[in-house]
A = this chain, B = another copy of it.
Amino acid sequence: MKLINEEVVSNLELDPLFHPRTIAVLGTSENPNKIGYLQLKALLDGGFAGDIYPIHRSAQQIADLTCYPSVKDVPNTVDLAILCVGIDQVEKCLIECGESGVKAAIVFASGYSEIGEAGLVAQQRLKDISDKYNIRIIGPNCVGLLNTTNGLMGTFSPGLTNMPLNKKREAGFVTQSGAFGVLTYIAAAQQGLTFNYFVSVGNEADVGFADVMEYMLHDPNTTIATGYLEGEKNPEKLRKLAKFALEINKPMVIMKSGRSSAGSRAAASHTGSLAGADQVYDGFFKQTGIVRVEDYVDIISFSKLFMSKKTPKGRNAVIITSSGGRGINEADRCESYGLNIHPLSDQVKKEIEKNIPSYASASNPIDLTAAASITHPELFIEPLKVLVNDPDTDIIIFSEFPMGWDENTPELQEFVQLCENSDKFVLVTTFPLEGMSVPKGVGYLEDHGIAFVRGDMNPIRSLAKLVEYRETYEKAKEQRMQAEPKKINKKNIRHLLLENQTLSESQSSEILNEYGIRTAKRAIAQSAEEAVRFADNIGYPVVLKIDSPDIPHKTEVDGIRLNVQNAEEVRKAYDEVYQNATRNCPTATIHGVSIQEMLAEGVEVIVGVTNDPTFGPVIMFGLGGVFVEVFKDVSFRVAPITRQDAIDKMESLKGYELLKGVRNKKPVDREAIIDVLLKVSELIQDYPNEIQEIDINPLIVYENGIVAADALIITK
């Protein structure tokens, strides 16, 4: 697959999948219970405007369409072939398609990689055919592909074909789970959201999740690209797409499942043991600006909110309710997702109070009381009139709405006009009661760019995500205008990266030094007398540490002496450290004892690199000591990282305040941390095939400057 190119933005290759002029249905059947019939019916019912050619060994006509014995017999170019045949027929059919110049195919059949080794081999054969004939394939083992804007219902699933279509269709959806995808499609349709594209990518023999995302991002009729993801095979592509998506302001909204399957992987470094797969995905989504959502309801509600075409300018939200209890709950929800239920100014409150009853409350949440929902719906407009002009308010949430207002109701018309002339983001939602959840005027509201999302779709969570998306979008815009980061002065260190080794502290430190990361002054002594000489040179007090590639955790063998004050103590410490190491690890190769400067106290942080099976090298940053061990207060980003990634990494720590300086402490040198993070990023980028893991722990940050007190590098 061609990767997206930052200059050329097109992937016309997938056009025959989404916009075929002609379709052949292979494996058509006359039996209305067979998928070959259901598929044909779906195309006809969907009103597909191009030619449809049913392929059937013997039948003359099915559903009034002329049949052909083979795709080769079709008297026209076939853009898309839909294979409703069993696994035993797939290859033969595909080859015939290839020979007839078919450009794309959908393969429903299962029995491929999902069943293990044998299926994987069969699937590879499909891929070979795809490559040979240049046929883009969706599937196998998929539910199909829909383009609801041209009647291309490329599926046999009645769940997909029986849903009513909403008129606005600009959100695309790609899914790695067929069944979950169908459920999401149906649930969306029930909420008045029809996806323009629905693509079940199945086993991704050829076209994958990222490819479909790419298509949707380039498609002028798609304004938001959503998806359900279990695992991405091509994160590099997703990353480039995400960058592009931010440039053109099309949100990529992905529900990534499998949070719990992270499991714990054995790893020699701290970084490795902390890098749960899900945490890495999380870091990846954050650094790329992909909107990660938690559930299918979020896909639906985020899409609906975004399609209203306004985005909130900030986090200040006012709730307007006719039930105090409901108002408080929505306020709780808003604040738990990071929106701000701000106190209204006295002036705003006074203005609102002028036109609402005395028993109603003009404080946020504004409670119009049951009167508004039962006898005086016109009350709903009063606070709106004032709030559209309140500079402190970004978002106005109606937690209930008059059920009876329709497009002919003057109040609704006034309501819409007020919203349209304002820069506030207005959300109308309702308590989710079946049969009473949808106010009559919803269509009219939506036509005028006012978001309506039912309460059971968790609109507040998505609203908060939308605010976050806007912030990310603005930040990305700014960043693109900033200059490139300065180049790092570095030396060639290939000779230091011995294969498949755990490097000793001094070897690891040397590598860091060559990339401009300052490490503690050190020298390896082979005898107590040499240790004294080095210590005299470095200056007291010093630290003694056993230096051995076989002893990554030196404290565990009692192989460290801190704060050694003079020559005599050095001699004693040398002997102790050496003996402890040889006694506790008799087989370890010992390079000697490292004599190091004793670093002043500072704030201890940790920087590490581990290799993720999906993303390759990922960089971790955290506060050192108990913060990393007990609180697991670390953050990940996929390498390479930008300066902004480094800043976000730092700021996303719960303990970030410790770096900014708490109470009487001065802030530490955060620029120095960013510098180390960028250098480590460059290091791992330069030697991705040589370096497996890095731990710089502790890395000590001062008010000015930063020093690596210990380091561990493991090579591949």
Contact = CB atoms under 8 A, between A and B. Distances in A.
Interface of A: 110-111, 114-115, 175-181, 183, 186-187, 190, 228, 230, 257-261, 295, 322-326, 328-329, 331-332, 334-336, 341, 358-359, 370, 373, 431-434, 456, 555-556, 626, 629-631, 654-655, 657-658, 662-664
A553 B316 CA distance: 35
Contact of A336 (B259, B322, B359): B259
16 contacts: A177-B323, A177-B328, A179-B324, A179-B373, A181-B325, A183-B433, A190-B433, A258-B328, A259-B335, A260-B336, A456-B456, A555-B663, A630-B654, A630-B657, A630-B662, A631-B655
A454 to B, nearest CB: 10
Contact of A325 (B179, B336, B433): B179
Contacts of A259: 332, 335-336
Given A323-B179, A359-B114, A359-B115, A261 B328 contact: yes
Given A183-B431, A323-B180, A324-B177, A332 B257 contact: yes
A329 B299 CA distance: 14
A190 B456 CA distance: 14
A329 B295 contact: yes
Contacts of A655: 626, 630-631
A618 to B, nearest CB: 21
Nearest to A664: B555
Given A183-B433, A190-B433, A434-B190, A260 B177 contact: no
Nearest to A335: B260
Contacts of A663: 555, 629
A103 B186 CA distance: 54
Given A336-B260, A433-B187, A555-B663, A180 B115 contact: no
Contacts of A556: 664
Contacts of A322: 179
A175 B359 contact: no
A654 B631 contact: yes
A329 B258 CA distance: 7
Contacts of A329: 180, 257, 295
A358 B175 CA distance: 24
A180 B325 contact: yes
B662 A331 contact: no
Given A177-B324, A258-B328, A456-B456, 15 more contacts: A175-B325, A178-B325, A179-B322, A179-B323, A180-B323, A183-B431, A186-B433, A257-B325, A260-B331, A555-B663, A555-B664, A626-B655, A631-B631, A631-B654, A631-B655
Counting chain B CB atoms within 10 Å of each CB, the highest count among A181, A325, A431, A664 belongs to A325
A317 to B, nearest CB: 11
Contacts of A431: 183, 187
Counting chain B CB atoms within 10 Å of each CB, the highest count among A230, A323, A373, A658 belongs to A323
Contacts of A662: 626, 629-630
A180 B399 CA distance: 12
A178 B658 contact: no
A93 B582 CA distance: 94
A630 B631 CA distance: 12
A629 B664 CA distance: 12
A261 B363 CA distance: 12
Nearest to A186: B433
A328 B179 CA distance: 12
A76 to B, nearest CB: 34
Contacts of A456: 432, 456
Q: Which 8 A-B pairs rank lowest in CB-CB distance, beginning with the nearest?
A: A177-B325, A180-B325, A179-B323, A260-B335, A259-B332, A257-B328, A630-B657, A183-B431
Nearest to A141: B359
Contacts of A176: 325
Nearest to A157: B370
A405 to B, nearest CB: 19
Nearest to A630: B657
A359 B109 CA distance: 13
A626 B654 CA distance: 11
Contact of A187 (B230, B341, B432, B631): B432
A648 B512 CA distance: 45
Contact of A228 (B186, B261, B325, B434): B325
Given A190-B433, A335-B259, A325 B626 contact: no
Contact of A260 (B334, B432, B630, B658): B334
B359 A326 contact: no
A325 B230 contact: yes
Contacts of A187: 431-433
A277 B89 CA distance: 68
Contacts of A261: 328, 331
